[in-house]
Chain A
């Protein structure tokens, strides 16, 4: 009996939980599954639709048009040198990626209860696959954005060019993923038992977009309603959206500071790690409560 204590086991199942139990070796072993999930997500969304992948473009374009009409034409919010449509397209593209990461992750447990209730595989594969498949969609939408960017620069003669901060662009994309998955995992924990949260989320995310500086530059809000500037100052999402725009447009009237950048990186890591902890705790027994 004593000798068995020293034996190595492939895995142990117990109620004791390590705080973070992210088994990279295991995730690596299931890489094919990750790939197949990504493929499934991409292939099946627009099956049996006429326009197919075109839908990837239509949604951000139309939203940008409406935003331009309402916020810039009607409410006359100035976007500085940047054409309003391009400004909105950048914000919406970034926000959409955050939104799909968040919602995709937040219903991980409920949407996959059928599979999770029957077989084991590292549960973190699911949020990862959501982040990757949506990254592909984000990439496609980015192409549209670049297309319009070039159109404005070369045909409309708008004086725009990204400066050295474009180097931070991948970091901002990563931040979007970190916040999306982190917050999503936190929410997913609560939705398994208390469904109120998922009902709340659907409209909360809508409102969150407006306080996260998507349809306006932070500078405009500060200028027009300075008493509400805390809303964007302490909102990491607003900082990310604004920073994302800064890396692509590089105009001085957009708001960027290294302190803020460091802060959102740190907060992002905290949120992500906290999300991962909760996710780990939940994945073990959620099937009993879902």
Chain B
């Protein structure tokens, strides 16, 4: 093995310029592979952050309650059409008890118990309709990353405090530390101090959303035990369907994955990922063809030497190893070089999180560097097998010219 490696290395060194050209070709292929991985991954991350980044990956809520059928007592045949409804009872009486079970399911990162409802924000003569979400104080940013959107104050929710959207706060002429009255749809009201103001960039949220602590929401909506919904964030958002099914099977609760609400987006992301996969495959195929043709040429050029080696007692397996090792070395060198160049070039991009208008959403962390090197080396070895087999079959007498 070691000796075959030495011979392989010597052969590559003997044709240094040809080897350098070959390694450069492989490195370019690997760079394309890494660039596509970083671009497709970064693009997906960028799109996800802009669309479902602040969505729950799974939402557990009450089953839809369809209206009762009121059949008139009339003779003859009746054609009845039932209009399905999205209205829910808005109450999960016992769901909180399942939290430990849900959190134990693999892939579940965090759960957030919430009470949702509507109400009015009242300050003197100023009145604004608001959507109210009550969340656990330590989980303000568990689903919507409120912490990163805070423009004033802090994202801390204690009893008696409220976080408001920027437009809403402006309309109500509110600043951090000031007090406002929140009247819930139940008619119950509470005086709350503004702890923070956030700006998500979504008009609806910034104009209408108010976050209060779960304890405050219980008082406002008269829900001392129950909650409205449980929102869940997963480690892999693409596992939402399977995890939702597992939650339903384990708890009997109604779990909705984000994909049900964003099926088109999911299809687009999948198509984008498949396009990237296709392009990366083309890059790999190019590498394999390049190495295979170079190795075939080398095999042909080295026929007399292969004959000499065979005459001197080299087994077919040794010759096979010499040429496969050449492919592996070229693949490894090209892979590492391409990965290094890829890292140096792609590191200069700011990343999807800090993307400027017109920029490429390249995420260097998704460059799949290790995979690129591994696949290239494996591809190079596979590409060398055919030429190596041809080399191993060389008839020594013919090759030497005896």
A and B bind:
no
Residues of A that sit less than 8 Å from B by CB: none
